[in-house]
Amino acid sequence: MSAYCSNSDLPAVAARLRAAKHLTIVSHAKPDGDAAGSVLALARALRSSGKRVDAFFSGVVDPNILALAQPGEVLLAPQTMPSAQSDLVVIVDTGAWSQLEPLQEYLRSMVGRIVGLDHHARGDAIADQRVVDCSMASATQLVVQLIDLLGVPLVVAGSPCKYSIAEALFVGLATDTGWFRFASADGRVFALASRLLECGVDKIALYQLLEENGRPVRLAAMARALSSLSYFLEGRIALMTVSFDDCQNSGAKSEDVGGLVNVPLTIGSIKMSVVLTEAEAGVTKASFRSKNNSEGVAEFDVNSFAARFGGGGHVLAAGAKFNMPLAEARAKLEHEFESLGAVTR
Ligand SMILES: [Mn+2]
């Protein structure tokens, strides 16, 4: 993989957006708050400056995330595919083929007409023009700069949208920082949060929608997952598994168990938490989380760890996908835990 970094800057990207008439905006599959917030904020800003914009969510979409959009405001891929007639595609909050599966063929057909805005450490050469800033806690911090360059206000008077551009930006900022708890929540994050709150963001409504609106099957699935808990490296690593049968029997979908991986980190001795989920037969997804030590250094760099399995993300939060059943993925993972023990103390 070649170095994944900026080859452009935001003013140059803004100029390219201004020149386009018909834009397509996409993000990673299974959009989280940052992916959805980035897509919605940018789409609304470009529409309000007179552009034709097709905004897409792809893969499995959590109904609470979908509720951030107005009915019909975003299209769902792969059920609907973007138009090849677009002048420009903007990819936000990812640059990795592995996260863009439902759109791969489309994106390959659009080579040379793709702009990327990302804050992840790893990615591929999909966008011919990209701005990658890993110092940003959320992609919406890049999107807001672009919107400012486009000269669009963060609250558009007379907009029919239930949530404003400012609220879409806030969702990305809040969710990617664990509602402002993570180490990534630095002064710039709070400065932007302050600006967005001044725009009238309803943070209570957003918190309730995204964090307090789960289904009861969530607790049933969590109980099963907790009963699968096992420890590695003298209790420093916690592993939970959600089997295909668990998913079938509990009726829980992947969006129902969001955040499960964070639960073991509430225990002092646990420095890394991993959840393996076989939501579809023969495909096992892994979520990795770590936390900082008292010096503010990651106990485990889960971005590099996930990269051993072809995944990635951030130092404290990453994911990977194994095209194999749960038991096989688990064996691979446990083998790598052993080598972690050898290199870290
Ligand atoms: Mn993000």
* CATH number for position 280: 3.10.310.30
pTM for the model: 0.88
Question: From ligand 1's centre to the CA of 36, what distance in Å?
Answer: 9
Task: Give the model's pLDDT for residue 344.
Answer: 45
Question: From ligand 1's centre to the CA of 136, what distance in Å?
Answer: 9
Question: From ligand 1's centre to the CA of 116, what distance in Å?
Answer: 13
Look at strands 312-313 and 283-290 and give their pairing: unpaired
Task: Give the model's pLDDT for residue 249.
Answer: 83
Q: Quick check: is 108 in a domain?
A: yes
Per-residue pLDDT reduced to its tens digit, 236-268: 999 999 998 888 888 887 778 888 999 999 999
Question: From ligand 1's centre to the CA of 106, what distance in Å?
Answer: 22
- Are residue 152 and residue 100 in the same domain, yes or no? yes
Task: Give the model's pLDDT for residue 108.
Answer: 97
Q: Show the beta-strand stretches assigned E in the chain.
A: 22-26, 52-58, 74-77, 88-92, 114-118, 129-132, 230-232, 237-242, 272-280, 283-290, 312-313, 317-322
Position 345 confidence tier, pLDDT thresholds 50, 70, 90: very low
- Are residue 291 and residue 327 in the same domain, yes or no? yes
d(C-alpha 325, C-alpha 273), whole Å: 20
Question: From ligand 1's centre to the CA of 249, what distance in Å?
Answer: 32
- Are residue 143 and residue 76 in the same domain, yes or no? yes
Q: Quick check: is 172 in a domain?
A: yes
Q: What's the Cα-to-Cα distance from 145 to each of 9, 37, 139, 252, 271, rounded to whole Å?
A: 11, 14, 10, 38, 35
Amino acid type, 44:
R
Q: Quick check: is 232 in a domain?
A: yes
Q: Quick check: is 4 in a domain?
A: no
Question: From ligand 1's centre to the CA of 35, what distance in Å?
Answer: 6
Question: From ligand 1's centre to the CA of 176, what distance in Å?
Answer: 6
- Are residue 43 and residue 172 in the same domain, yes or no? yes
Task: Give the model's pLDDT for residue 88.
Answer: 98
- Are residue 254 and residue 303 in the same domain, yes or no? yes
Question: From ligand 1's centre to the CA of 96, what distance in Å?
Answer: 13
Checking if the pLDDT of 1 tops 60, the result is no
Question: From ligand 1's centre to the CA of 118, what distance in Å?
Answer: 8
- Are residue 173 and residue 246 in the same domain, yes or no? no
Last residue of a domain, one of 191, 211, 231: 211
Task: Give the model's pLDDT for residue 251.
Answer: 82
- Are residue 66 and residue 116 in the same domain, yes or no? yes
Per-residue pLDDT reduced to its tens digit, 182-213: 889 999 999 999 999 999 999 999 999 999 99
Task: Give the model's pLDDT for residue 342.
Answer: 55
Number of folded domains in the chain? 2
Instruction: Pick the more confident residue, 88 or 160.
Output: 88
Question: From ligand 1's centre to the CA of 30, what distance in Å?
Answer: 12
Q: What is the mean pLDDT of the chain?
A: 94
Per-residue pLDDT reduced to its tens digit, 281-315: 999 999 999 999 988 899 999 999 999 999 988 89
- For the record, the structure tokens of 89 come out as 């595609």
Question: From ligand 1's centre to the CA of 169, what distance in Å?
Answer: 11
- Are residue 137 and residue 272 in the same domain, yes or no? no
Range of the domain at 41: 10-211
- Are residue 193 and residue 264 in the same domain, yes or no? no
Last residue of a domain, one of 211, 242, 262: 211
Checking if the pLDDT of 2 tops 80, the result is no
d(C-alpha 140, C-alpha 40), whole Å: 10
Question: From ligand 1's centre to the CA of 345, what distance in Å?
Answer: 31
Question: From ligand 1's centre to the CA of 202, what distance in Å?
Answer: 21
Question: From ligand 1's centre to the CA of 95, what distance in Å?
Answer: 11
Checking if the pLDDT of 81 tops 80, the result is yes
Task: Give the model's pLDDT for residue 169.
Answer: 98
- Are residue 205 and residue 227 in the same domain, yes or no? no
- Are residue 269 and residue 201 in the same domain, yes or no? no
Question: From ligand 1's centre to the CA of 122, what distance in Å?
Answer: 12
Per-residue pLDDT reduced to its tens digit, 49-75: 999 999 999 999 999 999 999 999 999
Question: From ligand 1's centre to the CA of 93, what distance in Å?
Answer: 5
Domain CATH code at residue 92 = 3.90.1640.10
Interhelix angle for 33-48 vs 140-150, to 10°? 10
d(C-alpha 55, C-alpha 24), whole Å: 6
Question: From ligand 1's centre to the CA of 119, what distance in Å?
Answer: 7
Last residue of a domain, one of 211, 245, 264: 211
Share of the chain above pLDDT 90, in %: 81
- Are residue 300 and residue 237 in the same domain, yes or no? yes
Position 114 confidence tier, pLDDT thresholds 50, 70, 90: very high
Task: Give the model's pLDDT for residue 14.
Answer: 98
Task: Give the model's pLDDT for residue 66.
Answer: 98
- For the record, the structure tokens of 255 come out as 């969006």
Question: From ligand 1's centre to the CA of 342, what distance in Å?
Answer: 31
d(C-alpha 222, C-alpha 275), whole Å: 11
Residue keyed to tokens 């993925």:
329
